[in-house]
Amino acid sequence: MNEAQALAIKPTGNEFLDDVLEGLRAAPKSLPPKYFYDSVGSQYFDEICNLTDYYPYHTELELLPQVGHEIAQRFHARGLQNLEIVEFGAGSLRKVGILLRALRTVRHFTAIDISQEHLIEACRTLESQYRELTIHPCVHDFTKPLKLSPSDRTRVGFFPGSTIGNLDRDQARTFLRNAGKTLGSASYMIIGVDTQKPEPILHRAYNDGKGVTARFNKNMLVRINRELGGDFTLENFAHHAFYNSELGRIEMHLRSLKEQAVNIDGERFHFGRGESIHTENSYKYRPVDFTQLAKEAGWSTERLWLAPEDLFSISLLKY
């Protein structure tokens, strides 16, 4: 692994400040969810994944060995050998090991993530476990197009955890189209997508009893205070997450508990009592709808696996 390489592609300028100011000037106010993931936020997210209430993580993890095994058989039958896995929004890399154990012919792994320290650390851990694997860390916002160096390997995208749910349908289509270009013709994509299901299960997953999701949500404000010199008073905002059944998505907000003003970079933002900052969407798809969306982006669905009680789906797409 090459740390200098990862550093070299780190985004420059103060995009964070620009995005925060733009989001808070708008009505309704919003902040992009990618800013949850500084190193503290990435740790909170790992904590969320350890909660039983947060079913997407463990449900997908339990489904993956079977998926990996069946994909390995398919690839073997097609004589595909020279494989590279490219993970988008790699996070803690706790899932890719399952694929690496199933797909024995993978020698290269490219991990794309926005959180640099977290990525480097996760790559180090993986490196110590898979000695024959060449790891390419890449600090990048996966919603933006990316060009990988040319290679004769068959690239297999990996996008687990229903991270695609953060994007609205248009953005998701654009992401998939870009990913196809990044990975090249005859590439594959293994993608985990959360399903629509009864509201109480969804609600609990984003309103856990331990308050970890609330801390994760509020960390956005902590980060604005620390990195941009903002003066948010954390106690004056409350975590608010609910299922918007019309749009098929969980929405996370930070709701102002009183009328107040907040200063960031010399600019003053007013909040009415009950006014909220929309921090995240998490879209849930019916399998037929996701298959259709992927098709519109140039991907055909080779197979779709469902977890017990249809709690989560994993698709194998071909470009």
What minimum distance in Å lies between the beta carbon of 59 and ligand AVJ?
12
Q: Which of 110, 213, 219, 276 binds ligand AVJ (CB under 6 A)?
A: 213
Write phi, then psi, for 127 (nearest 5 degrees). Answer: -60, -40
Rounded distance between C-alpha atoms, residue 288 and residue 1, angstroms: 39
Provide, rounded to whole angstroms, the least separation between the CB of residue 118 and ligand AVJ.
13
Contact 258, 236 (CB under 8 A): yes
**Minimum CB separation from ligand AVJ for residue 137, in Å?**
19
Pairing of strands 300-306, 312-318: antiparallel
Residues in contact with ligand AVJ, total (CB under 6 A)? 11
Select from 75, 128, 130 the least CA-distant residue to 103: 75
What does the per-residue mask of binding to ligand AVJ show for 31-50, with x meaning CB under 6 A? -----------------x--
Quickly count helices (H) and strands (E) in the chain: 10, 13
Cα(77)–Cα(57) distance, integer angstroms: 30
For ligand AVJ, which is the closer residue by CB, 48 or 262? 48
Our finding on whether 172 is near ligand AVJ (CB under 6 A) is no
Tell the smallest beta-carbon distance from residue 17 to ligand AVJ (Å): 23
Minimum gap (Å) between residue 206 Cβ and ligand AVJ: 5
* Integer Cα distance of 110 and 157 in angstroms: 9
Q: Which single residue brings its beta carbon nearest to ligand AVJ?
A: 282
How crowded is residue 203: how many other Cβ atoms within 10 Å of its Cβ?
A: 14
Q: For residue 200, what are the contacts with CB-CB under 8 A and spacing of at least 6? A: none
The distance of closest approach from Cβ of residue 164 to ligand AVJ in the complex, given in angstroms and rounded to an integer, is: 8
Does position 180 bind ligand AVJ by CB under 6 A?
Answer: no
Piece in contact with ligand AVJ (CB under 6 A), picked from 60-68, 80-88, 93-101, 163-171: 163-171
Q: Which span (124-132, 158-166, 220-228, 286-294) binds ligand AVJ, by CB under 6 A?
A: 158-166
Site for ligand AVJ in 81-140 (CB under 6 A): none
Helix (H, G, I), strand (E, B) or coil at 29: strand
Q: In the bound complex, what is the minimum distance in angstroms from residue 33's beta carbon to ligand AVJ?
A: 7
- The verdict on 301 binding ligand AVJ (CB under 6 A) reads no
How many alpha carbons lie under 13 Å from residue 167 in its C-beta half-sphere? 20
Among the residue ranges 4-12, 123-131, 146-154, 160-168, the one whose residues contact ligand AVJ (CB under 6 A): 160-168
Compare residues 75 and 216 and give the one whose CB is closer to ligand AVJ.
Answer: 216
**Contact status, residue 92 vs residue 160, Cβ threshold 8 Å:** no
Backbone angles phi, psi at 143, to 5 degrees: -75, -10
Exactly one of 219, 282, 291, 301 binds ligand AVJ (CB under 6 A); which one? Answer: 282
Choice between 106 and 254, CB closer to ligand AVJ: 254
| Through-space distance between the first and last CA atoms of the chain, rounded to whole angstroms | 28
CB atoms within 10 A of CB 241: 20
**Residue closer to ligand AVJ, measured from CB, 115 or 213:** 213
* Dist. CA 253–CA 218, nearest whole Å: 9
Catalog residues that contact ligand AVJ under the rule CB under 6 A. Answer: 48, 56, 161-163, 165-166, 206, 213, 280, 282
